[in-house]
Amino acid sequence: MSRHAGTRGKTQFAATALALVMAVGLAGCGTDRMSTGSIGSSRGPAVETMSASQLQNAANSLGQSYARNPDDKGLAIKYATVLQMNGDADQSLAVMRKLAIAYPKDRDVLAAYGKALAANGQLQPALDAVRRAQTPEYPDWKLVSAEGAILDQLGQKDQARDLYRKALELKPNEPTVLSNLGMSYLLGGDLRMAETYLRSAAGQPHADSRVRQNLALVVGLQGRFDEAEKIASQELPPDQAAANVAYLRKMLSQQNAWNQLKKQDKGSADSETNTN
């Protein structure tokens, strides 16, 4: 998405924000902007709260089961999701491509295939897959939000936000959609608007760890590190929460990004004032 941002500052901001999202994810909370949802069982942690070692163990276990039964739709989607979060985007896409051949009209499969394509950087094919999965007369809010997330990555932020709002009409106050909308503003450099939507998302009854970690990210990007760590530590182990915030501090310090972010945030506010 950063190559469509329009200015060098916004390009650097988007790259920094994406790097931070990835870092937080590797530390143990999934930040997939297309919201795959939990695949954890009652016997173990949900995938979005797994540590790197837990993700690797889950990938190994699911891989063995998948090898025995590759046409099991639910199993294949779970395996592909864990592979994505474990950084194995190519393998995840291979699993989903095979499943899409076996289930060419299945909405769940097409949606998951679209997510795998997007994770692999194949955004236009991802958009096509998600749109094929959609049924216009009975639109699925999850697919509407997923389409918005892909458009966001293509730099089409206005169209993406229109889709998030459409998804919210279909599913009012849905935390994953509110989170996607907040992340859209974050990647556009409007930190205060991002925080507004992410706080709304985190306040919903069914908000999951990823939503709250995204809120921690945008709070930290504004320099409120103690508050960010407090939010992150609600679900993550203290050492992981501290590691996330430490990484955030380091990134902002190394790239002189904090001053840049303040200027961009102020510029966004001034622009809004002039518009009004």
221-251 per-position pLDDT tens digit: 888 989 988 988 887 777 777 887 787 777 7
> How many DSSP H helices and E strands does the chain contain?
14, 0
In the prediction, which pLDDT does 256 show? 58
- Residue 43: its pLDDT value, please? 44
Considering the chain, what percentage of its residues have pLDDT values greater than 70?
73
What is the pLDDT confidence band of residue 55, given thresholds at 50, 70 and 90? confident
What average pLDDT does the segment 183-188 reach?
91
Residue 45 CB contacts under 8 Å (≥ 6 apart), including other chains: 54
What's the CA gap between 142 and 133, in Å, rounded?
11
pLDDT at 262 over 80: no
Write the DSSP symbol of residue 189. Answer: T
More confident residue, 49 or 115: 115
pLDDT at residue 264, as a whole number? 55
Question: Which phi-psi region, left, alpha or beta, contains residue 138 (left: φ > 0; alpha: ψ -120 to 50)?
Answer: beta
Whether 258 has a pLDDT exceeding 60, the answer reads no
| Tokens of residue 136, six digits | 């216009």
- What is the three-class DSSP state of 36? coil
> For residue 30, what pLDDT is reported?
31
pLDDT-based confidence at residue 265 (cuts at 50, 70, 90):
low
Selected residue with higher pLDDT from 51 and 9:
51
Q: Is the pLDDT of residue 101 over 80?
A: yes
Reply yes or no on whether the pLDDT at 103 is more than 90: yes
The answer on pLDDT for 170 being more than 80 is yes
pLDDT at 4 over 50: no
| pLDDT for res 20 | 45
15-29, 55-69, 175-189: range with lowest mean pLDDT:
15-29
Burial class (CB in 10 A: 0-12, 13-18, 19+), 101: exposed
- Residue 209 scores a pLDDT above 70: yes
Q: What are phi and psi of 57, to 5 degrees?
A: -65, -40
Least confident of 120-134, 143-157, 228-242: 228-242
Report the alpha-carbon distance of residue 67 to residue 71 in Å, rounded: 9
Which two three-digit tokens encode residue 178? Answer: 């509110």
CA angle 182, 186, 192 (to 5 degrees): 80
What pLDDT sits at residue 144?
94
Q: Who wins on pLDDT, 249 or 22?
A: 249
